[in-house]
Amino acid sequence: MQPARIPLCIIQGATLRDTLRIMQPTFVYRAITSIAPTAPVQITCDHGLSSDWLAWIQDARQMPELNREPRRQHPHRVEVVDAATLEINAISATGRTPAGGELIYQPPVDLSGASARMQIRADFDGPVLLELSTVAGGLTITGPGTIEREIPASDTASITWTKAVYDLEVEYADGTVHRYFEGPVSVNPEVTR
């Protein structure tokens, strides 16, 4: 499996905080039984998700902005309300009569008992410039397939380089290691006024 190549931009002197999602390669398809005319929009289906995740919707009628194609368009961020209800906060269905469709998602990778580590280097075989991990800090596994990354402003302020590369690996309880992300790192210098 090839790691996802995702650029990382750090703003010097600012906190970097983001969420990384690790998905299985297969897709799950669930029929949507109803779409509530609410703000935000709520979708009823037997979704099978245990926590907030990313998903696409296809063939919803009377509301084309819900429809997104897997592999061609970015997914929606869906929030789990309960076992049969999802919410998409960015879309309102007030006054609309949407219906039908299919929810599609790639299930999260099970990270139970796993640890994660990320190294930033001048180049892939160069010395480590910055390291984050679930042990030493900076990376936190917060749920299935979900890793939160944070570099405090005090750490980004002390960066003296402008370009580098990074990789992020997960080590599972059985000792298996997968590199899920890698890419170039750029640093935007802090602006002094």
Domain range list for the chain: 4-22+110-188, 28-105
Q: In this structure, what are the phi and psi dihedrals at residue 149, rounded to the nearest 5 degrees?
A: -120, 135
Predicted pLDDT of residue 44: 98
Task: Answer for the pair 10, 147: CB distance below 8 angstroms, yes or no.
Answer: no
Predicted pLDDT of residue 124: 86
- Beta-bridge partners for 19: 148
Predicted pLDDT of residue 191: 75
Domain range 4-22+110-188, CATH class: mainly beta
Predicted pLDDT of residue 163: 97
pTM of the model: 0.90
Predicted pLDDT of residue 32: 98
Low-confidence ranges of the chain (pLDDT < 50): none
Separation CA 18–CA 174 (nearest Å): 27
Task: Answer for the pair 118, 139: CB distance below 8 angstroms, yes or no.
Answer: yes
Predicted pLDDT of residue 1: 73
Separation CA 77–CA 55 (nearest Å): 7
CA distances from 120 to 24, 115, 182 (A): 25, 17, 10
Can you identify the CATH homologous superfamily of domain 28-105?
Ubiquitin-activating enzyme E1, FCCH domain (2.40.30.180)
Predicted pLDDT of residue 193: 65
